Amino acid sequence: MQDDGFFSKDAYAKLTGIEVVATGPGTAKVKMAVEPKHRNSHGTVHGGAIFTLADAAFALASNSRGIPAAAINSSITYMKAARDGVLYAEAEEFAVNPKLATYSVTVTNDEGEKIALFQGMVYRKSPKHA
């Protein structure tokens, strides 16, 4: 399966403990069980870990069409600190044009509470004969 091959090369996602839950055309869902290694100086889950979780869903969704996509811009809004349990990130495609595409990713905890909202944009090099 294409997405598994793609994701299996993602060393930083692996370091962070991220696993793929599901992928589809323009979508992806990933998860991360919170561990002590994810904490920041305040004792909650680090913004970088939450961002990386969302970014992994974004990368899977945006590379699901067979054309390599490079992230050019992302923003994240944190709505609730995460402390433990399992976090999920689910990416949806908002819009696609020939060169650019935009995704939104929702991060939730295992009680279904909204942790963060992420928005990302990619640039795609056109394939030579397309």
Q: How many residues bind a second copy (CB under 8 A)?
A: 54
Judged by beta carbon, residue 27 or residue 119, the one nearer a second copy is 119
Q: Does 65 bind a second copy (CB under 8 A)?
A: no
**16 binding a second copy? (CB under 8 A):** yes
Q: Give yes or no for residue 88 binding a second copy (CB under 8 A).
A: no
In this structure, are residues 118 and 87 in contact, taking their beta carbons and an 8 Å threshold? no
Q: Does 84 bind a second copy (CB under 8 A)?
A: no
Query: Which two tokens mark 71?
Result: 């992230």
Q: Quote the DSSP letter at residue 10.
A: -
Q: Which residue from 26, 27, 46, 67 is in contact with a second copy, where contact means CB under 8 A?
A: 46
Burial class (CB in 10 A: 0-12, 13-18, 19+), 103: buried
